[in-house]
Amino acid sequence: MNASDKPLVLIVDDEPQIRRLLTVTLEANSYRVLAAVSGQEGLVLAAQHRPALVILDLGLPDFSGQEVLRRLREWSQAAVIVLSVQDDDKGKVAALDAGADDYVTKPFNTDELLARLRVALRRSTKTDAVAVVHAKNLVVDLATRRVTVGGKEVKLSKIEYDLLRLLARHAGKVITHRQILQEIWGPGHEKDTHYLRVYIAHLREKLEANPETPELILTELGVGYRFVAND
């Protein structure tokens, strides 16, 4: 097997001993390995290298593994195995609900972990969306949540960013008013189209060269909106 054909596994854990043990074990079993010591570094490496699987510790120095998982799932479908010293059902359920494929407690048996890894990789057949979306002079970095226009960072509110992320992830496709309202504002808001119009206007003011004649966020009359990204 060529090195490039080996599945790439990203380890996100701040314990040197765990990183070393996992690296030696994985490389001995024909995996390529990257390692990060913080959540932010893990997200950056995931965006740059697109691993097939992420082994994620919940106790990280910058922010929680749950937050890393939530951010990762905003754009990536890589398989994720959570590692934790906590063996409580509530934590397991929260991690699985957030998009983890499996949950392993420390200390762990390496043979069992390898078996769980193989299962997670077999189940993970989805392809990732791109981590960075380009549209004319707009760049949306979904991994770092950074939005720039002409190289200058644009500050967006949480709802503005969530709305832009949704549109950018489905670039070229029409997303209905109902779909957007359910995703951004939640169930029960499907008829609150005035919210949507206001926030689309805000985004156009911040992102479009001419908000009156938008080129990035297009209106599909009576249906919804479509984001136009570069080919």
Mean pLDDT by 10 residues, the chain (231 residues): 78 95 96 96 92 94 90 88 82 83 89 92 66 91 91 95 91 88 84 89 95 93 89 66
User: In this predicted structure, what is the pLDDT of residue 14?
Assistant: 94
Homologous superfamily (CATH) of 3-123 is Response regulator (3.40.50.2300)
The domain segmentation of the chain, as residue ranges, is 3-123, 132-227
Q: What is the DSSP string of the chain?
A: --GGGSPEEEEE-S-HHHHHHHHHHHHHTT-EEEEESSHHHHHHHHHHH--SEEEEES--SSS-HHHHHHHHTTT---EEEEEES---HHHHHHHHHTT-SEEEESS--HHHHHHHHHHHHHH--PPPPPSEEEETTEEEETTTTEEEETTEE----HHHHHHHHHHHHTTTSEEEHHHHHHHHT-TT-TT-HHHHHHHHHHHHHHH-SSTTS-SSEEEETTTEEEE----
pTM here is 0.67
User: In this predicted structure, what is the pLDDT of residue 2?
Assistant: 62
Domain 132-227: give its CATH code: 1.10.10.10
